[in-house]
Amino acid sequence: MRFGFVDALKSIDLDLFSQEVVAIVGDNGAGKSTLVKVIAGLQQPNEGSIIMQGEEVRITSVRDASSRGIASVFQNQEFCDNLNVAANLFLGQELEHNAGIRDDESMISKAREVLATLTESIRVGQPINALSVGQRQTVALARTLLNDPRLILLDEPTASLSVMQVAEVLSYIKRLRSEGRCVLMVCHDLPDVFAVADRIVVLRQGHIIGVHRTEDTSYEHIIAQIAGVSHDEEMADNEGAQRYGSLVGQSKLINRTMRNRAEHTDEQDA
Ligand SMILES: Nc1ncnc2c1ncn2[C@@H]1O[C@H](COP(=O)(O)OP(=O)(O)OP(=O)(O)O)[C@@H](O)[C@H]1O
Ligand SMILES: [Mg+2]
């Protein structure tokens, strides 16, 4: 994927399967959002191919993606501030009576049904601008459930959420997996990644430089790959190694957070 002189994606070879959560990690500007946007139909790649169930496809728009069973939630999801929650849920995909007339009743009841599976704190008649950042994120996630998608793309789903809301989003992601869907999520927060991902993809400067099963890897290894250093370079005197050193210094704290959070989400799942 090329933007002018910037090659945002260079070597990408990734298989996705049903019933799994795959996390994409990498430094700022690594190409994570671009990769997700290409699959979501928001951006057209200059080269390469996307194969779905054995067939090469060109995903030309978000609507096209949606018809192929791909749903997406991006950073800074746009809403219509003057509309209520139900109307925003169905924005651009309104339900209609046979006669081509909007079916408000069905939309409201479907909105209620979908939201109830995610949270009790949002009413469908509330104006969207009365909601907190986290509640808006929940509405954005609820939108992905409307069309029974096979693949859900999430760009930073837990960014700027409270601890409780993060736990809600993580259990939502696990639920999507247990329903047989695939979730591909970009995430900066390694505790969240280790809490839900089956596989972790490390992207660096437009290249996939590692795909790991979560159970077979470690924070240190992932952080080293993100920073672009190998383990044995740890003590070396270069900038990447120094960044790696300071990041690994935090890993005890991160590990503790992860354990606490895993316990917390397990409790919620129970
Ligand atoms: N629409 C665009 N036009 C020009 N350059 C772009 C565009 N979108 C992305 N880029 C460039 O492509 C590269 C990858 O950007 P991308 O947004 O995919 O990174 P990212 O990994 O999601 O980073 P972050 O962690 O900051 O969200 C960056 O160098 C960025 O400047
Ligand atoms: Mg991004």
Task: Name the band, by pLDDT with cuts 50, 70 and 90, for residue 68.
Answer: very high
Cβ 30 under 6 angstroms from ligand 1: yes
CA of 2 to the centre of ligand 1 (A): 10
The pLDDT of residue 23 is 97
The pLDDT of residue 38 is 93
The pLDDT of residue 104 is 85
Which ligand 1 atom sits nearest the alpha carbon of residue 35?
A: 18
Q: Whose CA is nearest to atom 25 of ligand 1?
A: 28
Listed by start position, the domains of the chain span: 2-78+150-269
Phi, psi values for residue 78, rounded to 5°: -85, 135
Q: Is the pLDDT of residue 235 over 60?
A: no
Q: Is the pLDDT of residue 237 over 60?
A: no
Question: Alpha-carbon distance 240 to 234, whole Å?
Answer: 9
Please state, rounded to an integer, the average pLDDT across all residues of the chain. Answer: 85
Predicted TM-score (pTM) of this structure: 0.84
Cβ 180 under 6 angstroms from ligand 1: no
**DSSP classification of residue 62:** H
Question: Alpha-carbon distance 20 to 49, whole Å?
Answer: 22
The pLDDT of residue 37 is 93
Tens-digit pLDDT profile for residues 190-213: 999 999 999 999 999 999 999 999
Identify the bridge partners of residue 201 per DSSP, sorted by sequence position. 24, 211
63-67, 75-79, 104-108 — which is least confidently predicted? 75-79
Tens-digit pLDDT profile for residues 121-130: 899 999 999 9
Tens-digit pLDDT profile for residues 146-158: 888 999 999 999 8
The pLDDT of residue 150 is 95
Cβ 48 under 6 angstroms from ligand 1: no
If you average pLDDT over residues 70-81, what whole number do you get? 84
Which ligand 1 atom sits nearest the alpha carbon of residue 1?
A: 12
- Mutate which of 5, 32, 155 for ligand 1 pocket (most atoms within 8 A of beta carbon): 32
The pLDDT of residue 259 is 61
Q: What percentage of the chain reaches a pLDDT higher than 90?
A: 43
Q: Is the dihedral of CA 201, 178, 63, 53 positive or negative?
A: positive
39-53, 80-94, 241-255 — which is least confidently predicted? 241-255
Going by CATH, does the domain composed of 2-78+150-269 fall within 3.40.50.300?
A: yes
Question: Alpha-carbon distance 161 to 189, whole Å?
Answer: 12
63-77, 161-175, 223-237 — which is least confidently predicted? 223-237
CA of 159 to the centre of ligand 2 (A): 11
- Mutate which of 34, 42, 203, 209 for ligand 1 pocket (most atoms within 8 A of beta carbon): 34
Tell me if 31 sits within 8 A of 1, measured CB to CB.
yes
Burial (0-12, 13-18, 19+ Cβ within 10 Å), 186:
buried
